Amino acid sequence: MYRKHGILGSLWRHAVLLVFVVFALFPILWVISASFNPANTLVGQGLIPPNPSLDNYREVFTSEQYPIALWIKNSVVIGLITSTLVVIMTSFAAYAFSRFRFKGRRTGLFASLLIQVFPQMLAAVSIYLLVLSIGRLIPALGLNTHAGLIMVYLGGAMGVNAWLMKGYLDTIPTSLEESAMIDGASPFQAFYMIILPLARPILAVVFMLQFIGTYSELILASVLISSTEKYTLAVGLQLFIQDQYASRWGVFAAASVLGALPIVLLFLFLQKHLVTGLTSGAVKG
């Protein structure tokens, strides 16, 4: 009797898991199928296109009006630069909050987290005017520049990332740094040669989360970038849904599939660090 209930319980759990898997995979499979559908329409679209074709993918790389390949490149470059700078800045901030005791430390931690509660898009007008003013002094950081967009992204990336990395650094014993300094290492050498290698999992997590957020961001990029050749993928793809949505659905789906590849590849490259980085920081805060 017990074995029968155990089998029924196992089947029930597997059935629920299967439902969630199907629910998660169906939209992905549907978009992939639409990308191979040469009809370029939503009418009659299913999981298996009637006449599969690579026409939509060819248009992605050959269209002069919609340079989707260039938009993907812009998004990848902006995402990589922003994520790298965020990891560097956050590692210094988190190390200071984790190891040093100074006046205003607790207030600074909560203030950075409180500011993060309000998304940057709420201050889109202020950010636009600020970047406009900066551009008058330093044109390379002004409107319609990737550098200006990266600068804005960096300004809103410290709060949660600093908290996340601080929690992980708190789990690393301070005795390791003390031993290194006894052997003659400077505080920076102890941080760079001892702490950072041990914190590689959380660095990978912060890099991955920031890359995803930057890569898919739309509001600020559409406000600050105006030239078609400088669009990010998210901004460029909205052109496909402004008018004649159904007639360009296949190209839209193909661009979406290709646009997802950088995130998938980055996840596969960093996956061995992600689980450790996400769980270890919760041990001690």
**DSSP per-residue letters across 192-256:** IIIIHHHTHHHHHHHHHHHHHHHHT--HHHHHH---GGG--HHHHHGGGGSS-TGGGHHHHHHHH
Q: What is the 3-state secondary structure (H, E, C) of 59-79?
A: HHHHCCCCCHHHHHHHHHHHH
Evaluate whether residue 74 is within a structural domain.
Answer: yes
Is residue 216 within 8 A of residue 259, CB to CB? The reply is no
Cβ partners under 8 Å of residue 241, min gap 6: 252
- Cα gap 160→115, rounded to integer Å: 10
Tokens in use for 193? 């040669």
- Cα gap 85→117, rounded to integer Å: 21
Evaluate whether residue 28 is within a structural domain.
Answer: no
DSSP 8-class letter at 40: -
Task: List pLDDT tens digits, range 46-81.
Answer: 677 777 888 888 888 887 778 888 999 999 999 999
Evaluate whether residue 191 is within a structural domain.
Answer: yes
- Cα gap 196→98, rounded to integer Å: 13
Evaluate whether residue 90 is within a structural domain.
Answer: yes
- Cα gap 157→140, rounded to integer Å: 21
- Cα gap 127→220, rounded to integer Å: 9
| 185: exposed, middle or buried (Cβ count in 10 Å: 0-12, 13-18, 19+) | middle
Task: Indicate if the alpha-carbon torsion angle 236, 237, 239, 240 is positive or negative.
Answer: positive
Evaluate whether residue 231 is within a structural domain.
Answer: yes
Evaluate whether residue 14 is within a structural domain.
Answer: no
- Cα gap 203→84, rounded to integer Å: 10
Residue indicated by tokens 């909050």: 97
Tokens in use for 178? 């003390």
pTM of the model: 0.84
Q: Which residues of the chain have pLDDT under 70?
A: 1-9, 41-46, 120, 242-247, 274-285
For residue 141, how many other CB atoms are within 10 A of its CB? Answer: 16
Is residue 180 within 8 A of residue 189, CB to CB? The reply is yes
Domain count, the chain: 1
| 277: exposed, middle or buried (Cβ count in 10 Å: 0-12, 13-18, 19+) | buried
State the pLDDT at residue 166.
87
Q: What are phi and psi of 270, to 5 degrees?
A: -105, 0
Return the amino acid letter for 199. Answer: A
Evaluate whether residue 32 is within a structural domain.
Answer: no
State the pLDDT at residue 243.
60
State the pLDDT at residue 79.
95
Owning domain of residue 204: 55-280
**Among residues 253, 258, 260, 256, which one has the least CA distance to residue 34?**
253
State the pLDDT at residue 281.
46
| 252: exposed, middle or buried (Cβ count in 10 Å: 0-12, 13-18, 19+) | buried
User: How high does pLDDT run on average in the chain?
Assistant: 83
Is residue 165 within 8 A of residue 90, CB to CB? The reply is yes
Query: What CATH code is carried by the domain that includes residue 222?
Result: 1.10.3720.10
